[in-house]
Amino acid sequence: MRTRAGEIDLIAFNGTTLVFVEVKTRRAGVRGQGVRPEQEPLTWLRPRQRARLRRLAVAWLSKERHIRPSAHTIRFDAVGVILDEKDRLVRLDHLEGAW
């Protein structure tokens, strides 16, 4: 979902839990050098981004234009994606209940 206030990268529902997901993508170093600690995608999640995702989730849940699933639980997850220089997946980290 994209608005002027920002976008929600992914919204998922498994029948009981509604999940709002922030996805961070980084590129690995060239020629197999790997990812330096400061390049780890999930380390780039800041409190401001977390607050933004919560605000966007409230806005999404408040909209009357779409049908919302009846969830027992709402969760906020984070996904870190690392790609190589040819955009191939090197690593994917999924942190359930990131905040």
Measured distance CA(88)–CA(86) in Å, rounded:
6
- Residue 38 has a pLDDT of 61
pLDDT score recorded for residue 94:
94
What pLDDT does 70 receive? 77
The domain containing residue 71 runs over which residues? 2-95
Total of domains in the chain: 1
Low-confidence ranges of the chain (pLDDT < 70): 1-5, 29-39, 64-66
Alpha carbon of 62 to those of 13, 16, 19, 32, 81: distances in Å? 17, 19, 16, 45, 30
CATH code of the domain containing 22: 3.40.1350
pLDDT at 10: 94
